[in-house]
Chains A and B, each alone.
Chain A
């Protein structure tokens, strides 16, 4: 009997002590599986979501898209915008316990530039030299003025990794990433889960209220939502617009959305190989007519249930970089018909390449019937994504639909697509005047001057239309009501600072 009492007491005491120690676990449903978890090599959007918990960056982006301190506490541009000096936060530790200092920053940036497998080379192409000018001070010397560097450092190019781990694992760093974010890597099972746990020595640990985060790739949106409703998930990204009403009517679920920084667009083949040799690629009036024949607001209402916004520039209408002098055009079929006639045509046949997902197909079928009224006979060629990218790069297309997830700095949404030598200029549009404006916009530290350059460039592009912008989707998140403190951001990231569950 005595033993029994003792046992009961012990059990009770155990239960009491165990209770406060119960850990808060957050299970987040992602649309895809992340690729390799090495900031130097990774490419996927969902990978970036995982990094917001795993790897801190030199600078971060605020919800209003301003660059704010993270591992760097302050920074200065030289007057000619060719030197960037950064002060590194004191007392920051990597997950392996080693200290994060200027030398670690230099090692990471050099790794991003020199590792043969690195995907960060073009992002850091303007960097001529990076050096430690003090134990906690780093100086970037640039080949040419490039103010967009700061925005690059707010993403994977600026994620500082432990030099010891990077040296030990080399190109295999992704098998056991060691960074300085609020959560450290525990395990990963391909296509199943990525598990992180709270890092006790995080420099900003007072803002972290979650003990363990598990990211689960669930590609099907219906199944992802079903998991959230059944309680297997606490949080999910990219809710389908068609499911917004269901989530709103569910008392147990919360939801947030914000117009994203990317865009949906049609790329016209202007000069990429022999297939550019067609009226649509040659005559801008036909492209103008095509753009005018589209009712962008209707697309938003029908396909995106009103969660997206129509657009006609690389930046959404709510962005500070949007050129207000060129508002999103309203549909004007008569004017479109007149332009087609002026170009010497009655009906214009066009082959349009589109991705084979249901939403894009639905949207482009609507566009097909809209432009048919003006005089375009569009045949839709639906291909899966890998093929679409390949055809678009090689120029085997006439008009191609593809989207851009967006970059914080306006340069990232326009320069590489439009400039003559741009890395992903698949339309092969080339206009020295536009090149000059976009290059100058890169070189100024004054936002007002930059805005002026982008406005001037968008006036030309809006007339020549190598890229016909259609609109901007929203990021939509859904979560259990017990999850609080989430701040939605137009970059689509899930920042866990301040997020609580309970």
Chain B
């Protein structure tokens, strides 16, 4: 197993390099000058020239890229053009926020998606199944931003139960931290719950008609045991893959959700960075996200093996 993990991590290096080249070139293709964008109303030509030089924007793109890469290899991700803060510091500040949001969203997604999926599979083609499908479909169809604003209006403005937006670190004030995160996590988890529910359902339907399930029923196991111990564990495999892939979707969804609920996380960081052409920040965030994505897939593969002992032989 450690050799397998090591190999997978080695393969990740060229992947990350390709991603970084890709993002770097894409950014340079975007029209708009970062220094000018930053200057806004105060466009003093002399200062603009000085800053272009300072941030090496006058160098050829290739030189800029290798300069950036050299920095990254020595742990220097560059400096944000907008706030003068080191990019690494910004990332370390925002990453825990988005991870908290993602974990809580995943929790909601699983809490809603998996039980409903199982229920729909067991009660296949009954009213319960149809209702579950309708719920899933509407969860997928309701846009994040609309649901977010509606929840704010209902729960914060009308009922006054939760703060409308903002963020508090879980280490500083855990109660307030959870209060501010519940709504965004629910909004973000909601769409994923639908996907998760659909996949759990179809995996369960497949497993429930398998021969060994019929055997299990025939030998007199309770329906509860049949569903939870025999079927669910086997149906879990595709659900785990899906959850890992959904994590990427979660990061993308976080961009919008964080914007609505004003959560100072990764999503907000990258949106602001793109609008301000804050190249170093965009690069750093994308690289970090790619690493996270690769790690999530690796974790999914490892979980596979743990869930299905037969796969151990293939390592």
List A residues at the B interface (Cβ < 8 Å): 33, 35-36, 41, 43-44, 116-119, 121-122, 171-172, 174-175, 189-192, 216-220, 222-223, 226-227, 229-232, 383-387, 389-391, 393, 404-405, 423-424
25 contacts between A and B (CB under 8 A): A33-B272, A35-B83, A36-B84, A43-B39, A43-B40, A117-B47, A119-B39, A122-B42, A191-B268, A191-B269, A192-B264, A218-B262, A222-B149, A226-B153, A226-B157, A230-B152, A230-B157, A232-B164, A386-B33, A386-B36, A386-B276, A389-B37, A393-B36, A423-B43, A423-B45
Q: How far is the CA of A386 from the CA of B160 in the complex (A)?
A: 38
- Name the B residues within 8 Å of A405 (CB-CB): 41
In the complex, the answer to whether A423 meets B44 with C-beta atoms within 8 Å is yes
Interface of B toward A, CB cutoff 8 Å: 30-34, 36-47, 50-51, 54, 82-85, 90, 93-94, 149, 152-153, 156-157, 160, 163-167, 259-262, 264, 268-269, 272, 275-277
Residue on A nearest B155 in the bound complex, by CB: A230
CB-CB under 8 A from B31, the residues of chain A are: 383, 387, 390-391
Contact between chains at A386 and B259 (CB < 8 Å): no
How many pairs of A and B residues are in contact by the CB < 8 Å rule?
A: 134
Min C-beta distance of A359 to chain B, whole Å: 17
* Cα-based distance from A231 to B165 in the complex (angstroms): 11
Q: Which of A117, A190, A230, A390 contacts B33 (CB 8 A)?
A: A390
Among A36, A174, A385, contact of B37 (Cβ-Cβ < 8 Å): A385
B163-A230 in contact (CB<8A): yes
- CA gap between A424 and B268 in the complex, in Å: 31
Which residue of B is nearest A389, CB measured?
A: B36
Cα separation A218 to B166 with both chains bound (whole Å): 9
Bound-state Cα–Cα, A235 to B90, Å: 28
Q: How far is the CA of A130 from the CA of B156 in the complex (A)?
A: 54
Name the contact of A223 in the complex, choosing from B32, B152, B275 (C-beta under 8 A): B152
Residues of A within 8 A of B43 (CB): 393, 423-424
B36-A216 in contact (CB<8A): no
Q: How many Å lie between the Cα of A390 and that of B276 in the bound state?
A: 12
- Cβ B37 vs Cβ A386 within 8 A: yes
> Are A189 and B93 also in contact (CB < 8 A) when A35-B83, A118-B47 are?
yes
B165 interface neighbour in A119, A190, A232, Cβ under 8 Å: A232
Q: Cβ of A223 and Cβ of B37 under 8 Å apart?
A: no
Contact among A223, A384, A390, A423 for B260, CB-based, below 8 A: A223
CA distance A191 to B94 in the complex (A): 10
- B164 with A190: CB separation less than 8 A: no
Bound-state CA distance A229–B149 (Å) is 13
Instruction: Report the Cα distance A116→B47, complex, angstroms.
Output: 7
Complex alpha-carbon distance, A382 and B90, angstroms = 31
- CA distance in complex: A191, B51 (Å): 23
Q: Does B40 contact A230, Cβ atoms closer than 8 Å?
A: no
A167: min CB distance to chain B, Å: 18
State whether B160 touches A190 (Cβ < 8 A). no
- Given A386-B276, A389-B32, answer yes or no on A217-B40 (Cβ-Cβ < 8 Å): no
- Supposing A43-B38, A192-B167, A219-B259 touch, asked if A230 and B83 sit within 8 A by C-beta, the answer is no
User: What residue of chain B has the Cβ atom nearest to residue A189's Cβ?
Assistant: B264
